[in-house]
Structure 1
Amino acid sequence: MNFTVSFSELMPLAPVMIVALTAVVVMILIAIKRNHNLIATVSVIGLNLALANILLSLFGGALVPHNVMNLFIVDPFSLLYQLIILVAALACCTLSHAYIDSYKDNREELYLLMLCSVTGALLMVSSSHLASFFISLELMSIPVYGLLAYTHQRAKSLEAGVKYLVLSATASAMLLMGMAYIYSVLGSLSFAGQVDDMFWAITKTQDPQMMMALQAYLPQLGEKFTSVFGILGLGLIVAAVAFKLSLAPFHKWTPDVYAGAPAPIATFLATVAKVAMIGLFVRYLLASGVIGIESIKTIIIVIAVLSILVGNLLAVKQVNLKRILAYSSIAHFGYLMLGLVSASFLSLTSVNVYVVTYVLTTIGAFGTVALMSSPYNNANEAESLADYRGLFWRRPVLTATLTVMMLSLAGIPLTAGFIGKFVLIMSVVSEGHWFFAAMIILGSGIGLYYYLRVMVVLYMTPPETPRIDADKQWGQKVGGIMVLLAALAVLVVGVYPDPIIALANQAQLIAPLHIVLQ
């Protein structure tokens, strides 16, 4: 591998460099003088500059995929996921500002950790090599340990950070061992190096007949993994990814960590970290041809079905809103994995649309929790459903926002969540996977119960003296404006989804990836 790289060759990774440079500037500013508002403003400006760069790349004309150092691929797929990550990161920064403003200890390092983690997340979705896969994943994960335990005076926050540290380190060790086994069998760490020229010759065209030939050819790729080490390596990688995505049966950490984390950081974990991991996993499965191995497909299907059932059934008996949202995320990524198994090489549109709608809805739901919470409040956040009883009579606009998010998570028409599920079900039905469609519908039916239960609590008779309440001027603060914009986006996408579907349809993966062999 040639490590002599010019600056022009790195330019496709400009958004990553902007965020990394912002982190350096924030570090220097903290060293010179602590100023919470200044640090938060600089962080948001840096993220907005990176976002503007991606928008120019996506809408500025025909995008030519770039291979950077044989480690990263910058294509429409990676740009879409980087766009989603930056939007979610901006939301988390704005929520953090109001949340952490009353914190008595150092506040500025929160933004530094967040920027470092976002840098890793942006690199993850562009990775095309197992080395960059692992390094970018760790760059994203390690700052999260500190973010989760940031409000360490709350015992739950410290516990969440330690739990995630221990379990995430275990998953990382599994991932690294799996990569070692794969390398011992194939002799290559590149995703594309795990398949041969015939695979890429077929995928250079999107002709339907050639794509049918590809579907017939894919099972032959499994022969490379028939050795014990090959199967063991893939199994370890899938298990590690399932942990990071909190898929059953690797989900046990999720409700505890979400419940203990500061509300804006729970938002960050549910959006930025999850989107980065699913984007990377999609690229690995398809670019390496691993998705064509029947045993791996079976394992993913089993994990997805378990996640749908476990996530929804365990959420039914919860009385803690953050734990409800945690179990809900387990189920949603179960739906997403079924859509991924059904996705053809011609289109990842259904997966992309679902990721967009999930992120918008999750930002709004967790954002409402963050606006109701603070680092103190008797060491508790606004997490119990009892804290939201009768909220409509005190904060009608905030209640309407949370109601929209619950309806979207349930997949009710005229919301973004309905569009995501509709496109996903249409995708699996078009491939003839009726069982997958039935599981998505069954899970959504169960989910309807606990989402509606949250809504009922919001409109009940309020207690005489509410224990926790949102700030009276919440709608005039940046975090409140961001939550209102998220609610508006959920409704707009639900009513007029064409632009999002067109953007998701543009962000395809396989066809341009043959450039890694050049």
Structure 2
Amino acid sequence: MNEFTMNDLMVLMPYAPIIIVAVTSLLAMIAITIQRSHFVTATISVVGLNVGLFTLIGQITGVIDSGAVVASAEQLFVVDSFAKFNMVVIFICALACCTLAYAYLANLKDNKDELYLLLLLSTTGALLMVSAQHMAAFFMSLELLSIPLYGLLSYTYMRNRSLESGLKYLVLSATASATILMGMAFIYAQVGSLAFKPISLVLGSMFESPLLILGAALMLFGIAFKLSAAPFHMWTPDVYEGAPAPIATYLASVSKVAMMALAVRFLIDSALLALPSVQMLLVVMATLSILAGNLLAVRQTSLKRLLGYSSIAHMGYVLIVIVSIGAAADSISSMYMAIYAFTSIGAFGVVTLMSSPYRQSGEADDLSHYQGLFWRRPIITAVMTIMMLSLAGIPLTAGFITKLFAILAAVQGTNWFLAAMIILGSAIGLFYYLRVMLTLFKRPKQFIEFDVAGQWGIRVGGLMVIGVTVVIIYFGVLPNSLIVWSDMARIW
């Protein structure tokens, strides 16, 4: 009996970081029922996420036993190096969102504790998503990520925009999930298996199967919605604008990293990238995402909407990497998404520090709210400037390195048109990123509507935003460590 228990324990060890987050959500739930305390619930959440992160790092470095990893094509989840890399990114982003949420909710008179509970549940779903290698695991983990987001987006319900944001995401996300399910049904009807790898084994004999192509297309449409890739992107700016600033940060980082990792594993393991029709779909989505995201961002005066359209364009760049180098896209796409997530945390972090959940008129979202910010808050202006430069892909920032690798991937795949699209998109993007930076250095307004707290730099949220900025500069100046770090993100 003892031997059986030990064997079970060793089998569960690879999933220890995910189990820790799930247990943390239970502890947070118990703490809420015993005594409501914003500080206690936030502390439990942050401690649990830190324990999960350090356990994962210990397993990667070999300090902690990672258990008996037995890879099987039919198992639901697999914790390989690709999953571990993306799990580290998800843990860091979730911790950043928790710290930002603590300062943001400090003056909220309504219940604050449930936000952390929903955040932990959604993070559990994200961690499972990057490990999923089976259709059932795909759908269950995706819904575990998505369903808590409905409540998170509507959390500041006293603002109509927040309620509208949650409702839009609920309706459209449910439609995307139904589309993914239908695609899975078509693939299963043709292949006879729900696991990813068996699809590749039978793909050769049914290369032009209409049912398989239809199933793959429907799944890609659902994935494109979750990634906010064009032409399934229309929800993104509205949801970003209405969402509470820390949750918009979470949506732009954790949600995108998890969905992209799952999409990459699905496309590579199933070998669906070998289908010319799937490649064509990805090329069209990438091209439309870059054009729509960048051109629509040019006219925006709302910073959150601008960042929303920017995310559409960046998803297009990553799709180019996937379609250009296929099975070798795992590490480069993971590196791109990690840096994009950290940059989004920095940009949305500034918005969060400037915002309040109580203003019916909205948060510190309009560009006019940031006019002349440099003259009273030079450090936070420097943070926002570096984030904009990184998103634009300017040298000496990590964003330049990732965009360079995206262009190299397109060239390696001899997709000259797609390489040109990255360059064109970056040129258009430079215009609106520079517009944000110029606004920061203009003559300040006489009436200041929003401002950060006087001691923001010594608070946890402020320190975290400054820390992300240091990371972006470090990887931009010394990219070798970033390349080595991302090279471990390989699918078995």
TM-score where L is the length of structure 1: 0.91
**Which residue of the other structure, out of 92, 95, 110, is the alignment partner of 1:90?**
95
Partner of 1:112: 117
- The answer to whether the 8 Å contact 2:268/2:326 transfers is no
Question: Matched residue of 1:348: which SS?
Answer: helix
Q: 1:32 to 1:407 in 2, by over 3 A?
A: same
- The answer to whether the 8 Å contact 2:345/2:465 transfers is yes
**Which residue of the other structure, out of 497, 502, 507, is the alignment partner of 2:489?**
507
In structure 2, distance between residues paired with 1:133 and 1:344: 20
Shift of 1:233: 1.1
In structure 2, distance between residues paired with 1:133 and 1:125: 9
Q: 1:177 to 1:346 in 2, by over 3 A?
A: closer
In structure 2, distance between residues paired with 1:481 and 1:175: 40
**Which residue of the other structure, out of 39, 42, 54, is the alignment partner of 2:41?**
39
Tell me if 1:401 matches 2:369.
Answer: no
In structure 2, distance between residues paired with 1:292 and 1:454: 41
Tell me if 1:148 matches 2:153.
Answer: yes
Tell me if 1:469 matches 2:451.
Answer: yes
**1:364-411: CA deviations, max 9, x gaps?**
000000000010134410000000000001111000100000000000
The alignment-based identity, stated in percent, is: 53
Partner of 1:350: 332
- Which blocks of at least 5 consecutive residues in structure 1 are unaligned? 197-219, 513-518
In structure 2, distance between residues paired with 1:373 and 1:346: 41
In structure 2, distance between residues paired with 1:314 and 1:254: 12
Q: CA RMSD in A?
A: 1.6
- The answer to whether the 8 Å contact 1:222/1:293 transfers is no
Q: 1:483 to 1:66 in 2, by over 3 A?
A: farther
**Which residue of the other structure, out of 27, 50, 53, is the alignment partner of 1:51?**
53
Question: Matched residue of 1:413: which SS?
Answer: coil
Q: 1:281 to 1:346 in 2, by over 3 A?
A: closer
In structure 2, distance between residues paired with 1:235 and 1:222: 18
Partner of 1:67: 71
In structure 2, distance between residues paired with 1:149 and 1:345: 39
- The answer to whether the 8 Å contact 2:238/2:305 transfers is yes
**Which residue of the other structure, out of 214, 218, 228, is the alignment partner of 1:232?**
214
- The answer to whether the 8 Å contact 2:389/2:433 transfers is yes
Partner of 1:194: 199
What is the aligned length?
A: 484
**Which residue of the other structure, out of 340, 347, 359, is the alignment partner of 2:341?**
359
Shift of 1:431: 2.5
Question: Matched residue of 2:78: which SS?
Answer: strand
Partner of 1:279: 261
Tell me if 1:327 matches 2:331.
Answer: no
Partner of 1:217: none
Tell me if 1:370 matches 2:374.
Answer: no
Tell me if 1:23 matches 2:5.
Answer: no
Partner of 1:122: 127
- The answer to whether the 8 Å contact 1:311/1:327 transfers is yes
In structure 1, distance between residues paired with 2:168 and 2:473: 36
Partner of 1:206: none
**Structure 1 stretch displaced more, 341-350 or 468-477:** 341-350
In structure 2, distance between residues paired with 1:292 and 1:157: 42
Partner of 1:211: none
Tell me if 1:102 matches 2:107.
Answer: yes
TM-score where L is the length of structure 2: 0.96
Question: Matched residue of 1:73: which SS?
Answer: coil
- The answer to whether the 8 Å contact 2:85/2:488 transfers is no
Please tell me the residue identity of whatever aligns with 1:336: V
Shift of 1:78: 0.3
- The answer to whether the 8 Å contact 1:222/1:290 transfers is no
Shift of 1:424: 1.5
Shift of 1:359: 1.1
**How do residues 342-491 of structure 1 correspond to structure 2 at under 5 angstroms?**
342-346=324-328, 348-491=330-473
In structure 2, distance between residues paired with 1:223 and 1:442: 40
